[in-house]
Amino acid sequence: MNELESNRTVAFDARSLLDGGTGDSTYMRDLVSTMARLYPHQEQLLFASAPGQTREALAQEFSNVKITVLPYKIGWLWNQKALVPYLEKTGVKLLHSQYLLPRRFRGKMVVTIHDVSFREHPEWFPTRPRFIMNLLIPQAARRADVIITGSEYSRQAIVRTCGVPIEKIKVTPYAAASWARPASKEQGEVIAKKYQLQIPFLLGVGLRGVRKNPTVVLRALEQLRKQPEFAAIKLALTGSPEQFSDEIANHPAAQFLGWVPAEDLPPLYAAATAAVYPSFYEGFGLPVLEAMACGCPMICSNATSIPEVAGEAAIQLAPHDVEGWARAIEQIASHEAKRQTMIEDGQQRAALFSWERTARETMAIYRTIGTAEI
């Protein structure tokens, strides 16, 4: 790689670009694909420790996306022991990663830190991962030339917990995943039969883990199910029972869908009475936008970054307010006009966010710290 080529190249630590549906993976996939389309002169090098179908699909779609696999058995040392020597050899001058950065890379570095829940709520994390995150992520924040995050809430939280100046942190709001678009009522009916769902039901996507708080919705349903018209209503949760606490796994109002591929999510949202996202803590909250983009009313918590994402288009409630959640669910389920208004407002809200905006703002950051050719 010559000097000009290295100045037009961005290296990504793409280990988070997995074949599943995590938020980190959505961010990396949609950012890389949008940048590849908007900036065809820029080469994007995706580095990982193992092959992956999602990365390979990007390389097949875009000629300016390349993949290099650099195996190393200790994951948290991978970017230092495997990645850095390769980058130094090839002359790449700009590295973009999520959460972790190497210690001895001589080029410019950008790190995306979506949230610092490991600092603000350490009780949610097992001991070893918590130790590694507390050791390495604040180091990456201090070492980076620029930190990117998705919300003003996370920007302030990173300042509080990682000891970096606020001017170093840039907010580039994210957007709904590329699959998120409305499906027809008929498609919703078909998918409901596939997953053996009885309408009406609520849909909860990505609610695994203590911080996601599906318990408040189930307790609200306990109240509603005393009424004859709501006796059968359930909360459909992506994932399997063993991924949840015993209280949730054994709850009569919970129905588990297992792993749901992305193509099934729009019709599931179309069939749902409403989507729920009662999380205690989010750095952004992609499922809120994705439900709105699919044309599903959203009931969400009013905690951390979620109000920045939902705006006035969702019903926002305190994460512990069982009675409030019950009233909100009843309101949407009983008043079709209200439900249709929320669908329209949600789609308008989701349209304010785009990966094109995220990609252009990210490119502007690269240019402020990189070279004129990027």
One domain for residues 281 and 293: yes
The encoded tokens of residue 177 equal 């995943």
One domain for residues 72 and 165: yes
DSSP string, 36-66: HHH-TTSEEEEEESS--HHHHHHHHH-TTEE
One domain for residues 123 and 18: yes
pLDDT digits (tens, 9 = 90+) for 35-49: 999 999 999 999 999
CB 33 within 8 A of CB 62: yes
Q: Which long-range contacts (CB under 8 A, 24 or more apart) does 162-169 make?
A: 162/113, 162/116, 162/119, 162/137, 162/138, 163/138, 168/144
pLDDT value of residue 18: 78
One domain for residues 168 and 194: no
Q: Is residue 288 part of a domain?
A: yes
- Domain boundaries, position 252: 185-351
- CA 33 from centre of chain: 16
One domain for residues 43 and 104: yes
pLDDT value of residue 373: 57
CA distance 125 to 230: 36
Tell me 196's DSSP state.
T
pLDDT value of residue 3: 43
One domain for residues 88 and 197: no
Our separate counts of H helices and E strands in the chain read: 17, 13
pLDDT value of residue 372: 45
One domain for residues 201 and 297: yes
One domain for residues 165 and 196: no
One domain for residues 236 and 297: yes
One domain for residues 201 and 161: no
pLDDT in tens, the chain (374 residues): 544 344 579 999 999 987 666 889 999 999 999 999 999 999 999 999 999 999 999 999 999 999 999 998 888 789 889 999 999 999 999 999 999 999 889 999 999 999 999 999 999 999 999 999 999 999 999 999 999 999 999 999 999 999 999 999 999 999 999 999 999 999 999 999 999 999 999 999 999 999 999 999 999 999 999 999 999 999 999 999 999 999 999 999 999 999 999 999 999 999 999 999 999 999 999 999 999 999 999 999 999 999 999 999 999 999 999 999 999 999 999 999 999 999 999 999 999 999 999 999 999 999 999 754 55
pLDDT value of residue 264: 97
pLDDT digits (tens, 9 = 90+) for 77-113: 898 899 999 999 999 999 999 999 998 899 999 999 9
One domain for residues 84 and 145: yes
pLDDT value of residue 75: 82
CA distance 67 to 96: 15
One domain for residues 141 and 20: yes
CB within 8 Å of 137: residues ≥ 6 apart: 99, 100, 113, 116, 118, 162
Q: Is residue 374 part of a domain?
A: no
CA distance 76 to 13: 12
- Residue 195 belongs to a domain with what CATH number? 3.40.50.2000
From residue 182, how far is each of 263, 269, 270 by CA, in Å? 11, 8, 7
The encoded tokens of residue 231 equal 């006796």
pLDDT value of residue 20: 67
In total, how many domains does the chain have? Answer: 2
Residue among 44, 302, 25 at smallest CA distance from 179 = 25
* H/E element, 266: helix 265-271
Residue owning tokens 């090098």: 45
Radius of gyration of the chain (CA): 21
